[in-house]
Amino acid sequence: MTLTGIRFATYNIQFGFGLDGAYDLERIADAVSDADIICMQEVTTHWQACKFDHQPDVLANLLNRYAVYGPGYELDSSGMDSEGRVVNTRRGFGNAVLSRWPVSYSRIHALPRPVDDTLADTKTDLPRCALETVIDIPGFPLRVMSVHLSHQSRLQRLTQVAVLRALLHELPGESLMWKQPKTTQHPWSEGKPAPAVTVPTLLAGDFNFEPGDPEYRAMLASPNGTKFEDAWSIKNTAADRVKTCVESDGSRTTLDYVFITSDLSGAVAGASVKNDREGSDHFPLVVDLDSSGATLPAPSPA
């Protein structure tokens, strides 16, 4: 099976606020309008500072993409209408996946954040998550996960990396969750086929570590015979690495990555950073996939 001419992007949108401090979701969408599949982080719903926008819906409409939202946490933002009826609203913070093709399956994996006594005040970070999706690319369903790790604690990031690596090993074996006896029809299916079970995976987002950090090395380790590769490094040298984030002091760091399972390495045609975009304090990281010269493994039947 092959993947042909697919552009993938990951983008921490910083709630829609740019380097100039202005809130503008249109320029966020414009920065990744050429991407077929987009992972986003720091996506919000119903925040006053963000004009009460449900950002996944706004961005999906601007880009004409299917969208799935995975909040790391939500807070109550409900109220009463003029007739005294409850209007349920949740103020959320999390990750999103937007896709040119339907998202056949999704779920949220909460990431651990153990107490870290080296932190001066809070001892732990905001709740973080990995949003797992399966994108129904014609002929090649693909698992895509949008991830945002702790920005405060190395201990927490290393713990979160360990969970992500465990997921990589465990998820392909979960095809049994879609199995059903041939003589019965589970109510969830509603007559539709089960989502495909796919091993090839892209894990992308804001990891809050640098290429030389222990967390980066842990991501590339290969326990259990499974392995992630850094898509950037397949087509670029370390010296060519482009910074992906502008810190509050104006310095630039590399915090955003696209990690892929090794079975996808032959499909990486290029990687780049759109560091001329100012819609966020991060820049979009783009990876082009084209396996026309290589054969990829077929998904397992559900």
Average pLDDT per block of 10 residues along the chain, 302 residues long: 85 97 98 98 97 97 98 95 95 97 94 89 89 92 95 94 89 67 60 77 97 96 79 92 95 97 92 96 97 60 49
Contact call for residues 96 and 48 (beta carbons, < 8 A): no
pTM: 0.92
pLDDT of 225 reads 67
Token pair 């984030």 is found at 245
Backbone angles phi, psi at 59, to 5 degrees: -65, -40
Determine the pLDDT at residue 273.
97
Tell me what pLDDT residue 193 has. 74
**Domains contained in the chain, CATH given:** 6-177+193-289 (3.60.10.10)
